[in-house]
Structure 1
Amino acid sequence: MRFVAIPTKVVRSYQAGGLDANGQVPERTLSDGAGNPCRHCLGMIPEAAGMLVLAHRPFPAPQPYAEVGPIFLCADACAAGGGEAMPAMLAASDYIVRGYGADDRIVYGTGGVVETAAIAARARELFKDARVSYLHVRSARNNCYQCRIDR
């Protein structure tokens, strides 16, 4: 299984002023250094670093289950994060881990709140279900999209 960031092509568009999922230009601000995870490098955006705030839909097309929500990105180009290791931005919190089918719709009964230390075990358990094609990791407090997990 691998943790997957928002694709670089999508991020570069946002960083260049491309419109977000709500048709708005991403807001540019400075990170306060706490609680600003970049969904591309999968690390925390350092204090006083440029940051984008925007609406993102981590699905290929609009449909009833294609949630849109706020995310943060580094304002300047950053390297894509991801891989088999737990991303740094997921440290010390609790998250919703939820399965989606090949049709990009929620697989009912797969969502649950887990602490960081249990994400990998929960992902392995959910991937035993043949209906689950991929997972989302979302904030348990605000439901904000964090990253995707692929088999």
Structure 2
Amino acid sequence: MTLRYIAMPDRDAARLWQGGRDAYGNLPERHISDGVGVPCRHCLRNVEEGDAYLILAYRPFSSAQPYAETGPIFMHADQCRAPDGALLPPILASSKEYLLRGYGSDERIVYGSGGVFPAEMLEQRAEELLARTDIAYVHVRSAKYNCYQCRIEAA
């Protein structure tokens, strides 16, 4: 199975770069990166030391519903380019473990699909989940803070 890593959509990033509000209606906070632990959810790379970034509440779902988690994320304050999704993103090589959770096409969590896995098992577990007919995509989240990282789909 070929995996595709999906970043924050360009339209969401562009809206925020143009002064748009986050999922809670707040303006994103602007900070300067120390170069440690600041993964951008649009380009799926870490924000380099000295570069500006935004902190905001993000909901990676099409609508607000009971399973549509909202949480804090980082992104470059200035425009960056989303990857094509073919390769494991650099931000998914920066922690020892990740939380993976499968979702149905109705954007609801598929019970029994969530769990914390070592980084070296991320792709294997994503493939196992995506092989199921009841799972349309997988979210990768921080195992420590539950922050959304990216979405994985079968290519």
TM over 0.5: yes
Query: Matches of 1:41 and 1:115 in 2, distance apart?
Result: 23
Q: Deviations over 1:7-64 (max 9, x none)?
A: 0111011111101000001111111110000000000000110100000000000000
Residue in 2 that maps onto 1:134: 137
Q: Which of the numbers 11, 14, 17 marks the counterpart of 1:15?
A: 17
Query: Matches of 1:21 and 1:134 in 2, distance apart?
Result: 21
Query: Matches of 1:116 and 1:87 in 2, distance apart?
Result: 12
TM-score, with length taken from structure 2: 0.95
Query: Matches of 1:28 and 1:57 in 2, distance apart?
Result: 19
Unaligned runs of 5+ in 2: none
Letter in 2 for 1:99: G
Q: Deviations over 1:80-116 (max 9, x none)?
A: 0242211001114210011000110000000011122
Name the % identity: 51
Query: Matches of 1:16 and 1:53 in 2, distance apart?
Result: 15
Residue in 2 that maps onto 1:100: 103
Q: Which of the numbers 32, 36, 43 marks the counterpart of 2:34?
A: 32
Residue in 1 that maps onto 2:153: 150
Q: Which of the numbers 114, 117, 130 marks the counterpart of 1:114?
A: 117
Where has structure 1 moved over 3 Å in runs of 4 or more?
A: none
> Using a 3 Å threshold, how does the CA distance of structure 1 residues 92 and 78 change in structure 2: closer, same or farther?
closer
